[in-house]
Amino acid sequence: MLTIKLISEETERVIKGLEKKHFKGAREAVENVLAVDRRRREAQQKSDKNKQEVKQLSAMIGSLMKEGKKDEAEEIKAKVAVLKQSDKTLSEEMATAEKEVETLLCSIPNIPNDDVPEGAGAEDNVVVKTGGNVPEFDGEPLCHWDLCKKYNLIDFDLGVKITGAGFPVYIGKMARLQRALEAFFLEEARKSGYLEVQPPYVVNEASGYGTGQLPDKEGQMYHCNLDNLYLIPTAEVPVTNIFRDVILDEKDLPIKRCAYSACFRREAGSYGKDVRGLNRLHQFDKVEIVRIDKPEHSYQSLDEMLEHVEGLMKKLELPYRILRLCGGDMSFTSAICYDFEVWSAAQKRWLEVSSVSNFESYQANRLKCRYRNSETKKPELCHTLNGSALALPRIVAAIIENNQTPEGIRVPKCLVPYCGFDMLDDNNFSI
């Protein structure tokens, strides 16, 4: 969340940033925070004054008792009692105001970086780079759901039988290709200096709050009511929360972590062609990369993460483009976000496969993730970053559609050592 210091010292910049993100009632929200914080500070000042007066009066009581002026001492004791009762009321006011400020701050999104373009939606995102070659076919290529049925690669109907829509069953070589992609992405992350971790797939409320999923996205998460735990929508949540309530050494930054996980998203309200096949699932696999860094270095980290994800696209031989998201299309918590999209040959459209974001200090403030400045020796808020590297479903859809041939589906060369075959074809049930 945004800090009170930032909001109070750079009020107009914060309001303009929120308006750039198309946050309704930006000025009113900021003014409400400042008003409640002003109430808290006024109560704090009165409490400090009361404590000082109590200290002075208490010293007088002792002197008066020694001098035998018991009646005067009792009068002062009565004043002290009134001041202490007042201080108790003020402490309650401060606690209420602090809680109210935090609640209000949680309802305000992060403000965008200056490089974020103006715009209300996806149509205003800016393409900053393209790569790879769009494949050409004799005739119309088949969509991935038709190819999966043709070669018995994925059974969507069986997934519906077992669980429901959005939970496909991967079969034979396709199951092995899933494992190959996971291993390939993790190995590439390791080569780039990311330490692999295996996180839990469920998190508590504190973790959901720390990375900003709660209280903003309850409707998108699967909730285990009995234990009050949440299935993770991305490994970003448990991995970033490793550093919740931690003060790091500056010399250890940047910290680089990666993790494979299954991801669970309710995607309430999703329907239509955009959810067909692998386009949108309730359960899918993904490798996530996370960085914790110093503010002055975090944008270099962002560039390095973008290069890493782009390198994966090149090795997978997929046509791709990189978009810088406009203010109105960014997530609640990000300060800047780049989306990677791959070309779907049969659907003839771009599919998002990765988002790489810098949250600056927004998540870190919620997490209380700090580092100790080597010069001042004081703890300061870190910057947090993460990115998909990569999410499997739409990558698989693009691989299947873009690499289809009369003989079967060609597997990208970089994956062959990981899966042990170079074609997805009629021999899918071979062991």
User: 270 with 161, same domain?
Assistant: yes
CA-based nearest residue to 343, from 130, 104, 179, 84: 130
Residue 274: Cβ within 10 Å count: 11
User: 98 with 139, same domain?
Assistant: no
User: 64 with 135, same domain?
Assistant: no
Asked if residue 356 lies in contact with residue 337, where contact means CB atoms within 8 angstroms, the answer is yes
**How wide is the angle at C-alpha 378 spanned by C-alphas 377 and 380, nearest 5°?**
130
Q: Is residue 114 part of a domain?
A: no
User: 23 with 141, same domain?
Assistant: no
Bond into 295 cis (ω within 30)? no
User: 270 with 298, same domain?
Assistant: yes
Q: Which domain holds residue 311?
A: 122-424
3-state secondary structure of 356: strand
Task: Sort strands 223-224 and 126-131 into parallel, antiparallel or unpaired.
Answer: unpaired
User: 139 with 71, same domain?
Assistant: no
Last residue of a domain, one of 106, 140, 172: 106
CA-based nearest residue to 423, from 151, 144, 133: 151
Length in residues, the chain:
431
User: 179 with 89, same domain?
Assistant: no
Q: Is residue 111 part of a domain?
A: no
- Domain count for the chain, please give it: 2
Q: Is residue 177 part of a domain?
A: yes
Q: Is residue 282 part of a domain?
A: yes
Q: Is residue 117 part of a domain?
A: no
Helix, strand and coil content of the chain, in percent to the nearest 5, comes to: 45, 20, 35
CA quadruple 17, 22, 26, 30: dihedral, nearest 10: -40
User: 336 with 371, same domain?
Assistant: yes
CA distance 251 to 267: 40
Strand partners, 404: 409
Residue 352: Cβ within 10 Å count: 15
Tens of each residue's pLDDT in the chain, 431 residues: 999 999 999 999 999 999 999 999 999 999 999 999 999 999 999 999 988 888 888 888 877 777 878 778 778 888 888 888 988 999 999 999 999 999 999 999 999 999 999 999 999 999 999 999 999 999 999 999 999 999 999 999 999 999 999 999 999 999 999 999 999 999 999 999 999 999 999 999 999 999 999 987 778 899 999 999 999 999 999 999 999 999 999 999 999 999 999 999 997 555 555 789 999 999 999 999 999 999 999 999 999 999 999 999 999 999 999 999 999 999 999 999 999 999 999 999 999 999 999 999 999 999 999 999 999 999 999 999 999 999 999 999 999 999 999 999 999 999 999 999 999 999 887 76
Last residue of a domain, one of 75, 106, 137: 106
Element (H, E) at 398: helix 392-402
User: 279 with 339, same domain?
Assistant: yes
Provide CB contacts within 8 A for 335, sequence distance 6+.
110, 111, 112, 113, 116, 357, 358, 359, 360, 362
Structure tokens at 292: 């914790």
Q: What is the pLDDT of residue 269?
A: 52
**How wide is the angle at C-alpha 423 spanned by C-alphas 417 and 425, nearest 5°?**
145
The CATH number of the domain holding residue 26 is 1.10.287.40
User: 162 with 46, same domain?
Assistant: no
Question: 162-172 in b/e burial notation, b at 16+ Cβ within 10 A?
Answer: eeeebbbbbbb
Query: Burial level of 277, CB count in 10 A (0-12/13-18/19+)?
Result: buried
Asked if residue 109 lies in contact with residue 18, where contact means CB atoms within 8 angstroms, the answer is yes
Q: Is residue 24 part of a domain?
A: yes
The CATH number of the domain holding residue 161 is 3.30.930.10
Residue 217: Cβ within 10 Å count: 17
Q: Is residue 429 part of a domain?
A: no
Q: What is the pLDDT of residue 271?
A: 56
Q: What is the pLDDT of residue 236?
A: 98
Last residue of a domain, one of 39, 74, 106: 106
Q: Is residue 430 part of a domain?
A: no
User: 190 with 53, same domain?
Assistant: no
User: 93 with 129, same domain?
Assistant: no
